[in-house]
Amino acid sequence: MKTQLSFANLATIETELLAVTAADAQTGKGPDAKPQPLVLTSDAAVKAAAAAVLASGEYKAGANETVLIHAPAGLKAKRLLLVGLGKQAKADADKLRNAAGTAVRFAKPRGIRELVLALPEMDGASARAAVEGAFVGDFDPDTYRSDRKDQSIQSFTVAAPGADKKAAEAGFAEGVIIGESQNFTRELVNEPGNKLTPTVLGERAAAMAKEVGLGCEVHSTEKLHELKMGAFWSVSQGSEEPPALIVMRYEPEGVKDGPVLGLVGKGITFDTGGISIKPADNMEKMKYDMAGGAAMIGAMRAIALLKPRVRVIGIVCAAENMPDGKAQKPGDVQTAMSGKTIEIINTDAEGRLVLADGLAYAKQLGATHLIDAATLTGACVVALGMVNAGGFSNDDATWAKFDAALATSGEKFWRLPLGDEYMEMIKSEIGDIKNTGGRWGGAITAAEFLHVFAEETPWIHLDIAGVAWVEDSRPYIAKGPSGVGVRSILEWVRSY
């Protein structure tokens, strides 16, 4: 998608579709409250073109609510689209991000291939959010349909007349990088397990790294044995497909001191559950079990292009979890890279096993701060639904940086607790720890399992199981992979 920034007067822009945001400046309170939709622009011609629709009462400017005006008088645009942000008092960059995605997805099935979005106000944050939203909206998951009709938007322009050009240009440029990186993650997550094996995931990561200037190494079985990654290997041993240990490095020029941030992602390219096999219903979605690893790959792409002055190591532990005759069994005991022994209670609790060795390796490579992301537990979805992802941390200052990043990323994470009582639930009688702690508090005991390997290093764990896959299409995003985590992890890195 070609993207550009314009500072031209809205009335003079020639385009197939001019999208303008609107909001509900509600009057009155309680039962006397009445919607009062208004367009968020000072352009007199746009206001005049929209006046009749706004006065009719049929359009309320609710979040992502649209109305189309053909041949708007006084404008050179062929069509005028109003996109709602909801209540004006709550309109923010995230609402604008969704509105941009809504405008793009409105245009796609109607054969409109170029559009212009007018910003409600101009600063770097709104320009960035608009472009991010446009990229998110342009993605569709129908990669392998034989009758696929590519409806991608060919040209998307952000219009910001009278804006601070320097701030707008900076925010716009960032938005392009971040939007493309989030979609790169979504492309990876969308791939079926027979197309994206651990080896292929490593190849895709290496190709991206070469393109943007990251260091990258991809290792396999021999390296796992050399590093004594018994936990990681135990998951992959039941598959004909070899594992991939993907290591990406970002070394900004002139930065030799300070923190080293370790980004660790779960990369299970297909998860059958192993010997503790999953039910058949919805197992096809288990291609998404590498979404945490894909988020780290996408974040590393954005980091390489945005160039924050902090060193970063990205590690993705990729494997298939299969029920082969060589697969590990419930009751087995595995020795992790750290030397800790793990009693396997359920082979479907495999993500924490690969992350255990990934966290240990990140520390060995010099990481002073850690963050991991994984589609780890159904228990987290039970706790938070498909709205918030779960967050855990052993360090309040480290979490505070991540929490502050959410205001920019617009993603929703909710911090859940850790504690010795939960740690007691995963103690093993035959080894050091068990890989599950039973039914209750499952997301927390999984986090405590990872805490054993993070140890005292400041660490954040993101359980994205409930939000990495969009179950039903929304006005601003297609059903399928969401790319969650890329924006928040990037902002956390930039905070250092």
DSSP conformation class of 112: -
Measured CA to CA, the distance from residue 292 to residue 30 in angstroms comes to 44
Whole-number pLDDT of residue 320: 98
In DSSP terms, which residues pair with 82 in a beta bridge? 20, 67
Q: Distance from first CA to last CA of the chain, Å, rounded?
A: 32
Which stretches of the chain drop beneath a pLDDT of 70? Answer: 122-124
**20, 96 in Cβ contact below 8 A?**
no
**462, 372 in Cβ contact below 8 A?**
yes
Measured CA to CA, the distance from residue 306 to residue 309 in angstroms comes to 10
| Distances in whole angstroms, Cα of residue 446 to Cα of each of 247, 312, 477 | 24, 25, 30
Measured CA to CA, the distance from residue 388 to residue 369 in angstroms comes to 24
Alpha helix positions (H), 9-70 = 44-56
* C-alpha gyration radius of the chain: 24
Closest CA to 157 of 102, 114, 122: 114
Residues 6+ apart with CB under 8 A from 159: 6, 7, 8, 10, 13, 18, 116, 117, 118, 119
Considering the candidates 108, 352, 363, 487, report the single residue annotated as catalytic: 352
**64, 99 in Cβ contact below 8 A?**
yes
| Residue 278 a catalytic site member | yes
DSSP one-letter string for 63-74: TT-EEEEES-TT
CB atoms within 10 A of CB 163: 22
H/E segment holding residue 315: strand 311-321
Domains of the chain, each with CATH number or no CATH: 2-162 (3.40.220.10), 183-494 (3.40.630.10)
165-221 confidence digits (pLDDT tens): 999 999 999 999 999 999 999 999 999 999 999 999 999 999 999 999 999 999 999
Considering the candidates 223, 278, 415, 474, report the single residue annotated as catalytic: 278
In DSSP terms, which residues pair with 415 in a beta bridge? 391
Measured CA to CA, the distance from residue 172 to residue 3 in angstroms comes to 9
Answer whether 0.85 is exceeded by the pTM.
yes
Closest CA to 475 of 192, 73, 86: 86
Closest CA to 389 of 285, 295, 274, 276: 295
Residue in the block written with tokens 């390296």: 223
Half-sphere exposure of 46 (CA within 13 A, CB side): 27
Whole-number pLDDT of residue 123: 61
Helix and strand totals (H; E) in the chain: 14, 20
What backbone torsions phi and psi does residue 375 show, to the nearest 5 degrees?
A: -80, 80
Measured CA to CA, the distance from residue 491 to residue 496 in angstroms comes to 9
CB atoms within 10 A of CB 450: 25
User: Which two tokens mark 481?
Assistant: 């992979």
Closest CA to 413 of 401, 425, 395: 401
Whole-number pLDDT of residue 85: 97
Measured CA to CA, the distance from residue 190 to residue 197 in angstroms comes to 12
| Residue 487 a catalytic site member | no
58-113 confidence digits (pLDDT tens): 999 999 999 999 999 999 999 999 999 999 999 999 999 999 999 999 999 999 99
Whole-number pLDDT of residue 444: 98
Q: At 222, is the secondary structure helix, strand, or coil? A: helix
CA quadruple 453, 456, 460, 466: dihedral, nearest 10: 40
Closest CA to 357 of 452, 438, 432: 452
